Structure 1
Amino acid sequence: MTENTNENKNLAEIKDLSVSFMTDAGSIKAVEDVNFTIPRKTVVGVVGESGSGKSVTARSIIKLLPETATTSGAVYLSKRDGTDSLDVLSLSGEQLRQVRGSEAAMVFQEPNSVLNPVYTIGWQIEEGLRAHGLKDKKALRAKAIDILEKVGIPDAETRVDYYPHQFSGGQKQRIVIAMALVLNPGLILADEPTTALDVTVQAEILDLLRLARDEFDASVLIITHNMGVIADIADQVVVMYRGHVVEQGTVEQVFYHPQDDYTKRLLGAVPRIGQKLVVRDREGRPIERKTDWREQPVAVEAKGLTITYPGHLMQPDFKAVDGIDFTIHRSEVLGLVGESGSGKSTTGRAIAGLQKVSGGSLNVLGIEMNGVKERDFKPKRADIGFVFQDPGSSFNPLMTIAENVAEPLIVHRKYGSVAEAKDYVGDLLEMVQLPRAYMNRFPHELSGGQRQRASLARGLALKPSLLIADEPTSALDVSVQAKVLELFKRLQVEIGFACLFITHDLAVVDMLADRIMVMHKGRIVEHGDADQIMQRPEDPYTKKLLASLPVPDPREQQIHRAQLHELLAAEA
C-alpha cells in the first residue's frame, strides 16, 4: 500500500504507464509513458483513434490485461473513503478481486459480450454482490431491483427476472451500467459505451453516466472517439495518439485552444450539421455533378410499401414498414434516418431484393418487387450495389480481399476467375484509395476504415446504377469516417449512381444527402430537402433526433442538452 499525497483531490493517478504485448512478431508497445490523473467526482474523457491505446490504459487501471501484457510504471487508485491508495499493478489476484467492482468497475462497449444469455439479469447483477460477501437472497433481490430502477429500467420488479435477449440494445447498456454501479465504486471506467447506439439512446446513457457522478459521487473515465460525446459529458480531456498522451486539459481548453496538431485534426474531422461536403480536383476546383438529379429519371419508386414479418409461436405479425411512399432519382443521394427498429434497413434490403415486399408497390429499376420472381429480378442484381454496416461480417474471412471484391464479378460472369479479374480489382482498390498490395491480404489484416473502403470497392465493382449504403461509417473513427465520406462523395459525383444512404447520424447524412427521409416505427414522419429537414424540422420526432445529436462544442452542447430535456418533458 502506498500513501497518496493527493488522496483528497485525485481518485486515481497514472504515472509513467507503459504496456507492451508479446506477439509472434515480437514485443509491441501499446502504451508508452502515459501520465494523467482522475480527480474525484469528475468525468475524464479519453479520446483518440482506434489503436491509440485508450482501452489498454483504462483496463490497466483495474489490471484487466491478458497474460501476454507486460506493464511498467504505476497506477494509484485511492479508496472511495479516502483511507489509503493502492498501486493496482502490484496487487495479487485476490487483492484485485476485492478492488474490482467495489472500488472501480468497467462498462464495456458491447453489452452482449458481458451479459450471459442463460441467466436472468437479476442473477447477473446479484453475482457481483455475492462475490463481495452479501448472501441474503431477499437483500440481493432488493438491491438488484433498486439499481435497475435507478438506471431507468421500467417495471424493474418484474423485469429483474427477464433474460438479456428480452431487452433492447440501449436497455442492455443500462443493465451493464447497473452492474457497475451496484457496489457503489468510486470509479466507473466506460469503454465506448455509446458507439453502436442511436443518438436518442446515447443521450440517455450519457445522462446516466452524469448521474453516476452527480448522485453516486463517482468519477467516470469515458473512452470514446466521438468528440460530441466528450463535449457533452467530460470535465477534463486526455487526447491519445499511438500510445502517447499528446494533450490534456479541461474540456474548454482542449476544444477552444487545442495545442497539438493531432487534436486540431481530430476536431476538424468531426461532422457538423450545416457543413456540406465539397470534393475538389487536383487543382482545388470543386467537382460537381454534370446534371441536376431532379431532371433525372426515377430509379426507385415506392407507393404504400408495406413489409411484414410473420409472427412465430402464437405471436402476432410485425409490420416493420407501414405504407411508405418515396422516390430515388438517378444520381441522387437520398438519406434515410431514424432509430434502430424504425424500418430503415428493412427498406434498403427490400430495394436490393433481399427482403420480400408484403403490400403496396416497389418499383426498382423498372421491376415491380411485389410478387417478383427471382429469375426476373436476377439480371437486375448486377445494377444494384450494397455496402454493409459491418464489412468484417460481410466479407468471407477465408478469402483474400481480391477474392472478396472479385466475387460479384465472377457470380455475374463478367470474369471467369480471380486471376482474370486481378487488374480490374487492383483498379477498384486504387479508386477507393487502397494500394494494390492489399489484394493478397485477408480481411482481418485490414483496419476498420480499410475494410470499409474494400466493401465500397466491392459494392461498386459491377458499376451499379443504384447503391444502398447501410450505416457504412457508424463504427469508424471520426478521421477515418471523414476520409470514407469524402471518397463516397467523390465516387458518387464521378459515377452518378442513385444512392439510398441509411444512417442514424444526422450530421453525416447532412453532409452527403440531397433529400432526407425521417423514419419512425415503420412510417415516414418527415421528408424533404436536406436543408429544410436540418434547419426547419416540423415533426416532433425529427426535432428530438436533432436535439439528441451531441454537438462538438461544450458551450453549444449545454444549450442543446437543455433543449432536448425540454422536448422530452413536453413529450411526457
Structure 2
Amino acid sequence: MVTGTALSTAIRVENLSVSYGPQRGDAGQRVLSGASFSVPKGRILGIVGTAGSGKTALGRVLSGRGLVSHEGETPWISGGQAEVAGIDLRRPSRDDLRRLTLDIGYLSQTSGDELRNDLTIAENIADPILSRDRDFDQRALGRAAAMLIDAVDLELGMLNRFPFELSRGQRQRVAFAKALIVEPAVFIVDEPAQGVDIIARPALFSLLERLNRARDLTMIVISHDLATIERLTSEVLVVDRGVVLAQGDIDEVLRDPDDEYLRRLRDAREFARAPLPGLVDRETIAAAERVVGGLFADEDLEAEAVDAAEQDRQRLIEDRPEFARFHHEVTEASTDATTKDAKE
C-alpha cells in the first residue's frame, strides 16, 4: 500500500449515518448506518460496494459539498461524527466552511458534465482559485493549468476550447485537473476511471500515486470495481446495503469471508486474475453457447435431451472415475448396434 511519512489522522468517522431528503429527525431516507473508520495522513483508502450500497453518498458527505451547495438531492449526516482535514463536518465553524473546498478536493462521477460551458477549459480549471481571489497571479495560474492538463494526458491546445467541444471522457479529465488546482490535503475520488478512455487511465492513476507519495495527499477512492482500487491501495472498506461489512487489507478481508457479498467480491477478484475456462462451470458455458446460438432460434427438444444426458454422463465420470471404462464399453456397444442397424 502507498503510505505517507506522517501518521496523524486525516479522516475520522465514528458511527456515521447518512440520509437523503428532509433534514429533520428520521424523516429522510437513510442510506448508510453506523460507519466507523479512520485514514492516517498520506494514506489511501479504497471504498468498494455495489450500486445503491451507500458508498457514493458517503464520499459526497465526506467531501463536505452538501454544506456549501444544496443543489439537487444532497446527502447529509443524520447521525454520528465525521472529521476531514481537521474540519468537523457535523458542526463546521465559519472558518471551516471557508477552507472546506480548498482543503478537501472532490471528483464525482459527473464532475465533467458540471463544467461551465461559458468558460474555456483553462478558465474552468482556474475557477476554484479565481472565484476566491480575482487578483491571483494570472501567469502562475496559467502555468499551473497547463501542467495539470498535460498531466491528465490532454493536449495543451484544449486550454482555449470550451467543454461542449470535448468528449465526456475528456471533460472528466478536465474536472480531474480542476479538482487538483487548489492542491487539497484530502482528495475524494468517486469512480476515477468513469467515462475515461482506457488509454488515458494510466496517466490519471500515475498522477494520483505520485501526488500521494510526493505530497502526502490523503485519498479516498470509491469504486464498484475492486481492480480499480487495487491499482492504488491494498486498504479497503467494503460497503453493502448501507452498512460496512469489513475493513482492512484486501487479502485479509477476502481470505475466508462469511458474508455472501464478500464471497462474490472474492470470486470477482479471482475472475479478473484467472483465465476464463478455469472459472466458468460447464453449465454456465453451455448456457452461454445457447445464447451464442441465437436467442430466438427454433427449439430442438430432442437434441437438448441428448445434450443433457451426455452432460449427466460426463459429470458421473468426473465424480466416479471407475465408471469411465464402463462408459467407454457402453459407447462402443451403442456404436456397433447403430452400425449393424444401418447395414441391415
Equivalent residue letter for 2:78: T
- Establish whether residue 193 from structure 1 lines up as the match of residue 192 from structure 2: yes
More strand as a share of residues: 1
Q: Distance in 2 between matches of 1:148 and 1:259?
A: 45
| Equivalent residue, structure 2, for 1:140 | 141
Report deviation, 1:60.
Answer: 1.2
Matches within 5 A, 1:266-305: 266-270=265-269, 271-272=271-272, 274-276=275-277, 277-278=280-281, 280=283
Alignment correspondent of 2:78: 71
Deviations 1:471-528 (A, max 9, x none): xxxxxxxxxxxxxxxxxxxxxxx9xxxxxxxxxxxxxxxxxxxxxxxxxxxxxxxxxx
Partner Cα distance (1:30, 1:73) in 2: 14
Q: Report the counterpart of residue 338 of structure 2 in structure 1.
A: none
Q: Which amino acid aligns with 1:41?
A: G
Equivalent of residue 293 in structure 2, options 331, 344, 348? 331
SS in 2 for 1:268: helix
* Aligned residue in 1 for 2:234: 235
Q: Give the CA deviation at 1:253.
A: 2.2
Deviations 1:271-318 (A, max 9, x none): 43522444639xxx955858xx9xxxxxxxxxxxxxxxxxxxxxxxxx
- Structure 2 counterpart SS, 1:239: strand
Aligned length: 281
Check 1:254–1:134 CA distance in 2 against 1; reply closer, same or farther (3 A cut): farther
The whole-number CA distance in structure 1 between the counterparts of 2:254 and 2:231 is 12
For residue 251 of structure 2, what is the aligned residue in structure 1?
A: 252
Q: Tell me if structure 2 keeps the 8 A contact 1:227–1:267.
A: no
**C-alpha distance 119-30 of structure 1, shift in aligned 2 (>3 A):** same
Aligned to 1:44: 45
Report the CA distance between 1:131 and its aligned residue. Answer: 3.0
What displacement does 1:95 show?
3.3
Structure 1 residues 40 and 259: CA distance shift in structure 2, 3 A: farther
- Output the CA distance in 1 between the equivalents of 2:41 and 2:168: 30
Q: Kindly provide the amino acid, as one letter, of the partner of residue 106 in structure 1.
A: Y
Deviates more, 1:255-264 or 1:111-120: 255-264
Give 3-state SS (helix, strand or coil) of 2:177's partner: helix
1:133–1:288: structure 2 CA closer, same or farther, 3 Å change rule? Answer: closer
Partner in structure 1 of residue 179 of structure 2? 180
The corresponding residue for 2:3 is: none
Within a 5 Å distance, the mapping from 1:5-16 to structure 2 comes to: 8-16=7-15
- Cα distance in 2, alignment partners of residues 464 and 117 from structure 1: 49
Residues of 2 paired with 1:68 and 1:207: CA distance?
31
Distance 1:208 1:167, change over 3 A: farther
Structure 1 residues 257 and 204, CA, compared in 2 at 3 Å: closer, same or farther? farther
Deviation per residue, 1:328-369 (Å, 9 max, x gap): xx828xxxxxxxxxxxxxxxxxxxxxxxxxxxxxxxxxxxxx
Please say which of residues 105-114 and 48-57 is displaced more in the overlay. Answer: 105-114
Encode CA deviations 1:150-197: one digit per residue, 9 max, x unaligned.
Answer: 33333x2x4321212444444333221211111111111101121333
CA drift at 1:67? 5.9
Closer, same or farther in 2 for the Cα pair 1:150/1:288, shift >3 Å? closer
Structure 2 vs 1, CA of residues 43 and 258 (structure 1 numbering), >3 Å: closer, same or farther?
farther
2:131 matched residue in structure 1 = 131
How far is 1:86 from its partner? 2.4
- More helix, by proportion: 2
Post-superposition offset of 1:200: 3.1
For the 8 Å contact 1:32–1:243, the answer to whether it is kept is yes
**Worse-superposed segment, 125-134 or 220-229:** 125-134
Q: In structure 1, what residue type is equivalent to 2:39?
A: I
Amino acid across the alignment from 1:71: S
How far did 1:48 drift?
0.6
Matches of 1:99 and 1:68, distance apart in 2: 17
Whole-angstrom distance in 1 between the partners of 2:203 and 2:254:
23
TM-score of the two chains, using structure 1 as the length reference = 0.44
Aligned equivalents of 2:297 and 2:95: distance in 1? 60
Name the CA distance, whole Å, in 2 between partners of 1:217 and 1:69. Answer: 28
Mapped contact 1:48–1:240 kept (Cα < 8 A): yes
Deviates more, 1:61-70 or 1:180-189: 61-70
SS of the residue 1:59 aligns to: helix
Q: 1:181 to 1:68 in 2, by over 3 A?
A: closer
1:21–1:68: 8 Å Cα contact kept in structure 2? yes
Contact 1:120/1:162 (<8 A) preserved: yes
Instruction: Find the aligned partners of 2:116 and 2:92 in 1 and give their Cα distance.
Output: 28
Q: Distance in 2 between matches of 1:288 and 1:92?
A: 58
CA–CA distance in structure 1, aligned partners of residues 142 and 106 of structure 2: 22
CA contact (8 A) 2:64 2:100 kept: no
How many angstroms apart in 2 are the aligned matches of 1:173 and 1:94? 30
Q: Structure 1's 464 and 126: CA in aligned 2 closer, same or farther, altered over 3 A?
A: farther
Aligned residue identity for 2:133: G
Amino acid across the alignment from 2:293: S
Does the CA contact (< 8 Å) of 1:170 and 1:201 recur in 2?
no
| CA distance in structure 1 between the partners assigned to 2:57 and 2:47 by the alignment | 11
Q: How far has the Cα of 1:216 moved from its partner?
A: 3.3
- Contact 2:112 2:174 (C-alpha < 8 Å) held by counterparts: no
Secondary structure in 2 aligned to 1:50?
Answer: coil
Q: CA deviation at 1:20?
A: 2.0
Identify the residue that residue 28 of structure 1 maps to in structure 2.
29
| Identity among equivalent pairs (%) | 23
Contact 2:16 2:77 in 1 (8 A): no
1:22-50, CA deviations, whole angstroms, 9 ceiling, x for partnerless residues?
37x95321111111112222221000101
TM-score w.r.t. length of structure 2: 0.71
CA distance in 2, matches of 1:142, 1:108: 25
Deviation at residue 201 of structure 1 after TM alignment: 2.9
Aligned to 1:162: 161
Q: Secondary structure at the match of 1:123?
A: helix
Distance in 1, Cα, partners of 2:240 & 2:288: 35
Shift of 1:11: 0.9
**Distance in 2 separating the partners of 1:260 and 1:9:** 32
Deviations 1:428-474 (A, max 9, x none): xxxxxxxxxxxxxxxxxxxxxxxxxxxxxxxx6xx379xxxxxxxxx
Structure 1 residues 250 and 216: alpha-carbon distance in aligned structure 2, compared to 1, 3 A threshold = same
Return 168-177 or 219-228, whichever deviates more.
168-177
What is the CA–CA distance in structure 2 between the aligned matches of 1:117 and 1:94, rounded to whole Å?
Answer: 31
CA distance in 2, matches of 1:58, 1:288: 37
Question: Structure 2 unaligned runs (5+)?
Answer: 1-5, 67-72, 299-303, 305-344
- Secondary structure of the residue aligned to 1:233 is coil
